[in-house]
A and B are shown apart, each in its own frame.
Chain A
Amino acid sequence: MAPTVRPDLAAAHERTWTSLTSAGTWFSAKERRALTRVAIAAMWSGSAEPVDTSAEVSDEAARAAARLASGSPHVTREWYESVRDAIGPLAFVELVGLVAVASAAASFGRTLGLPEIELSDVESSGANDDGPSRIDPPELAEAKWNWVPVAAPADKTAAVVQALTAVPATFDELWSLADAQYIPDAEMVDPKWTRGTLTRVDMELIATRVSFSRECHY
């Protein structure tokens, strides 16, 4: 029997799946669905080689999604710059955010043994199928703590917090999911905050083990 998921967490994941299959700021709905398929396949296989996307998205974007999702991608600034030059810096920011939230959504379902989400089911349940919004970014700045451009002023907050600020919709998508999965932003400064289940020490212990598995220095 499937475990009971608290309502705010279930709703956050439902929003995530809808977003992954809807148009973004720099990728169409069709492209985002293709990239989500690539990311989840790479996550389970551990392979940085993308599955066939039947030309629904550029090879450069598909290859980047597969590499980032594969688990231990060992990417370098030179790799980033080559992908950025091929797809554009703001599309790259959206791509990273998409891979990150797709990895979270897929991980959560698999860990709990929930039925696998069929992207086609999400598509038919009302996902937005328009083209990308191409909304103008905020004023951008070069950061010392990230290789991607960020909203100005740079380096006034933690690197992971400013990382997606160049694409506000992607920023909102990831951090609203983090609020439900981990700790609401306003409570981050309280080392004793809890939902009544895991303590903060328990959460940080799990976080440290996952970061070790992913070979993440940050």
Chain B
Amino acid sequence: MLSWSGKAHGVTVDLPTLTVGVDHAEVLLEFARVATSPAGDDDELVRVRTALVEALGESVMVDAAAVVANFEMMTRLAEGTGSVLHNMASVRAGTAVGADAFKHHG
């Protein structure tokens, strides 16, 4: 999905390094990393919220939190229901980002 949407926008995407040709990629990635860390660190959350609001505004930060929440949901849905990829392009993309290391469905 990242490669597909990047292509539509004319944005370069390098999946193995998760390098994306948009100016604010790093602040979004850092926001998502801290928001998904299991140990609650409120100071870190304040730091990444502030950075994202300063870079792109509050409404973007709120929608970024919603996307994080959505994939906290979808990853557990996929894991719990034993969902597997049936699309070879998606399988190749998973391999590109190193996700095969986590493949453990029997």
* A interface list, Cβ under 8 A from B: 3-6, 9, 43-46, 68-69, 71, 73-78, 80, 93, 95-97, 99-101, 103-105, 107-108, 110-113, 144-148, 155, 158-160, 163-164, 174, 177-178, 180-182, 191-192, 195, 197-218
Contacts and interface: CB of A to CB of B under 8 A. Distances in A.
A156 B74 CA distance: 19
Contacts of B85: 159, 217-218
Given A146-B81, A147-B82, A204-B5, A107 B72 contact: yes
Contacts of B49: 111-113
Contact of B28 (A93, A95, A99, A205): A205
A99 B31 CA distance: 23
Contacts of B69: 103-105, 107-108, 111, 181
Given A105-B69, A145-B84, A201 B76 contact: no
A218 B75 contact: yes
B76 A110 contact: no
B68 to A, nearest CB: 6
A147 B78 CA distance: 10
Between A105, A174, A212, the greatest number of chain B beta carbons within 10 A of the residue's beta carbon is seen for A212
Contact of B38 (A4, A45, A75): A45
Contacts, number: 265
B98 to A, nearest CB: 8
Interface residues of B, number: 72
B35 A111 contact: yes
B45 interface: yes
A99 B80 contact: yes
Contacts of B32: 205-206, 209-210, 213
Contacts of A146: 81-84
B76 to A, nearest CB: 4
Contacts of A212: 18, 97, 99
Given A202-B64, A203-B5, 7 more contacts: A76-B105, A96-B76, A111-B35, A191-B9, A202-B22, A216-B74, A216-B102
B8 A200 contact: yes
Q: What does DSSP make chain A's interface, helix, strand, loop or mixed?
A: helix
A201 B64 CA distance: 12
Nearest to B95: A217
A181 B72 CA distance: 11
Given A107-B72, A213-B32, A217-B99, A164 B5 contact: no
Nearest to A79: B106
Contacts of A164: 77, 81
